[in-house]
Structure 1
Amino acid sequence: MRIVHSETTKARRARTELDGGQLVPPWECPERVDMILAGLRQAGFTEVVAPAEHGLAPVLAVHDAYYVEFLASCWDDWRALGREGEAIAWIWPTRTMPGRRIPRCVDGRLGHYALGADTAICAGTFEAAMASKDVALSALAHVLTDGGPAFGLCRPPGHHAAVDQFGGYCFFNNAAVAAQRALESGLSRVAILDVDFHHGNGTQQIFEARSDVLFVSIHGDPMTCFPYFMGHADEVGEGDGAGYTVNYPLPEGTGAEVWFHVLEAAKARIAEAGCELLIVSLGVDTFEGDPISAFRLAGDDFLEMGRRLAGAGLPTLFLMEGGYAVAEIGTNVANVLTGFEQGSAGAK
């Protein structure tokens, strides 16, 4: 298992998140990276390599150019106004105020490009997002050239980032960037399997009208769970992409028996679609102790998750998404990768 990590992914250290009507320290923090690295070392994954730099072209292949420019300049524009706090959106286009023009001021642009008020932009955000994308692409390069699996320790995560919006701690959609690069490298169809507790709304939005990427997500029912406005079972793709979006929304409290039953259905759909590469958006916030999620997977269930993912029989790229029980996140991630290696060895 190739492990790819960059210390630059920790350059973003936001201080504020709007949660329950209060500004609190964000659940997504640099310490998550340290705990994952410690868990990997303890499990025997001791070789960690740095990514190569891949520039902006892969980002611009899936994200709007004006959005990318906004992310690059937002912090400096915000600070130029003499503001001490972090850049947080506070007004948005709405159903009755559709926002057909992008404002020039940073406050208006924040509202245009932000999904919600949960995610601040601070010093180091753009640099960390660039490094996170490089981690994903370098891990992908290993899978494509070597055929063996790889884990990209991405931070910030990516699956909530849409073509031209950020939120849910996500700025560039790492899985989408990697999938597009894989297609440009000659593959015909790629599967993105999102196992994070929260629906990957950004990944769905990027690919919902395309048939070369199959997006499959197992997540908390958006009727009660973030991001609320996408991820229902009847969202199956549009136009050429009809049938290539597959959503499995599950109720709060879902445990391993039901979750693994749905995982097998997801694997069957991936096999049916003839996908040549599996990208796993690996969120471990399905853990029973996660503070902002509501599934009930135990630590050992992540070993089984890895074994079952190996059963898909595809070249596999794991990219880190969510998981906020920081004390356990390293063990849970390591269990998935260990289980995958066990499952792969058993299949030989």
Structure 2
Amino acid sequence: MKCYYAKSTEAHDPIFRLYLGTMARNAEQAERARLLLAGLDRLDLPVTEPGPIPRELLEKVHTKELLDFLETGWAEWKKLPPSGPEVVPNVHALNSEKTYPKHIVGKAGWHMGDTSAPLGEHSWQATLGAAAAAHDAAKAVLEGDSVAYALCRPPGHHSSADVVAGHCMLNCAAVAAETLRGTHAKVAVLDIDVHHGNGTQDIFYERDDVLFVSVHATPETYYPFYVGYDHETGRGAGAGYNLNIPLAQSTGDDGWCDAVASGLDRVAEFKPDALVVSLGLDAHENDPLQGLKVTFDGFKRAGSMISSAGLPTVLVQEGGYLSPDLTTSLVAFLAGYTGRDIDL
């Protein structure tokens, strides 16, 4: 299995996060990558540095305004004395009538959906590297590999075409899907992160060439709260090509694996040419964000089920936060996917 990881991610180590009215350390820390790389080491899977990603591909996923903001926003922000070390929004464009702002504070509120994805000095290069890893993994699959893995940091599935949020910046799963669409007529995205992939859903919601399926903790009590319900099935040409499977936060291995199996049934019905998996590992019972109760065995079972679908597959890393079990969660999933008998 080819694995891709950009070292530029290591300089992206966000600080700010607002949680329940208090300032907290951001959960999307650089240490996450080291824990995931340790999992690849346990499986003797070396990583390859990805090449550059074409700007025109990014513009198929995101607006030019968002890309410009991510690229230049921090430098604009630092011209404002006394600005903090990261771009964090303090106002949002909520009115039905609105005009795109010229000021960086206005742009921050336009393009940032919450305070958990602050933009720092090195965030643009890091998210470019993450998207490039997803792009190269998809290219490997197009060139004949049955599966490839992209260790993407920061993750991307909460980012829509024009808004970043939830620790995410460039939507790497959407980048992988668009790369595959360059050759394939139909692509499915299966998101098994504990959070609903609201950004990915939004990007493909009106399309019938990309099926989106998400298995996640119920938004009734969990982020992103406003989207991820089972009545959201697509719009226009995309009607019927969006499936959400929300689960109670008490759900463990059996219920979660049953939901993944249901998602795979819908994927099989769609008959895609290739599959993108938004591989969040934050459904684990010991993940600090406490969304679901999945164990290592659950991840191993899910890996085996997804592999058995028999589709050319790009695995795109999403969430999974600082826990001693993050490394083993990745090992468990990939061991299940590859059929390796490994001591967890």
TM-score by length of 2: 0.96
1:181 and 1:294 mapped to 2: Cα distance?
Answer: 31
In structure 2, the residue matched to 1:208 is: 205
In structure 2, the residue matched to 1:155 is: 153
Amino acid at match of 1:283: G
In structure 1, the residue matched to 2:21 is: 21
Gaps of 5+ in 2: none
What pairs up with 1:1-348 in 2 under 5 angstroms? 1-45=1-45, 47-82=46-81, 83-94=83-94, 97-184=95-182, 186-342=183-339
1:285 and 1:84 mapped to 2: Cα distance?
Answer: 29
What are the Cα deviations for residues 238-283 of structure 1, in whole angstroms up to 9, with x where unaligned? Answer: 0100110000011111111111111111111101011111100000
Amino acid at match of 2:73: C
1:133 and 1:326 mapped to 2: Cα distance?
Answer: 25
Cα pair 2:31 2:322 within 8 Å, conserved: no
Q: Percent identity?
A: 34
Q: Secondary structure at the match of 2:325?
A: helix
Cα pair 1:194 1:280 within 8 Å, conserved: yes
Cα pair 1:304 1:339 within 8 Å, conserved: yes
Cα pair 1:159 1:281 within 8 Å, conserved: yes
Cα pair 2:204 2:212 within 8 Å, conserved: yes
2:130 and 2:87 mapped to 1: Cα distance?
Answer: 21
Q: Secondary structure at the match of 2:244?
A: strand
Q: CA deviation at 1:99?
A: 4.9
1:276 and 1:293 mapped to 2: Cα distance?
Answer: 34
2:56 and 2:25 mapped to 1: Cα distance?
Answer: 33
1:158 and 1:24 mapped to 2: Cα distance?
Answer: 21
Amino acid at match of 1:111: G
What are the Cα deviations for residues 115-138 of structure 1, in whole angstroms up to 9, with x where unaligned? Answer: 112221111011101000100011
Q: CA deviation at 1:65?
A: 0.5
Aligned residues between the structures = 339
Amino acid at match of 1:110: A
What are the Cα deviations for residues 314-341 of structure 1, in whole angstroms up to 9, with x where unaligned? Answer: 0111000000143211111121111101
Cα pair 1:191 1:270 within 8 Å, conserved: yes
2:107 and 2:96 mapped to 1: Cα distance?
Answer: 14
2:172 and 2:91 mapped to 1: Cα distance?
Answer: 27
Q: CA deviation at 1:148?
A: 2.2
What are the Cα deviations for residues 197-240 of structure 1, in whole angstroms up to 9, with x where unaligned? Answer: 00000000000000000000001111111011111000000010
After superposition, the CA RMSD in angstroms is 1.2
Q: Secondary structure at the match of 2:271?
A: coil
Cα pair 1:31 1:326 within 8 Å, conserved: no
2:126 and 2:97 mapped to 1: Cα distance?
Answer: 29
2:120 and 2:77 mapped to 1: Cα distance?
Answer: 9
In structure 2, the residue matched to 1:346 is: none
2:137 and 2:246 mapped to 1: Cα distance?
Answer: 29
Q: Secondary structure at the match of 2:339?
A: helix
What are the Cα deviations for residues 172-195 of structure 1, in whole angstroms up to 9, with x where unaligned? Answer: 1111111111111x2011010000
1:212 and 1:11 mapped to 2: Cα distance?
Answer: 36
Amino acid at match of 2:79: A
2:117 and 2:169 mapped to 1: Cα distance?
Answer: 10
Q: CA deviation at 1:169?
A: 1.0
Q: Secondary structure at the match of 2:215?
A: strand
Moved more, 131-140 or 4-13: 4-13
2:117 and 2:315 mapped to 1: Cα distance?
Answer: 24
TM-score by length of 1: 0.95
**Deviating runs (4+, > 6 A) in structure 1?**
none
Moved more, 264-273 or 295-304: 295-304
1:314 and 1:31 mapped to 2: Cα distance?
Answer: 32
Moved more, 293-302 or 59-68: 293-302
Amino acid at match of 1:340: Y
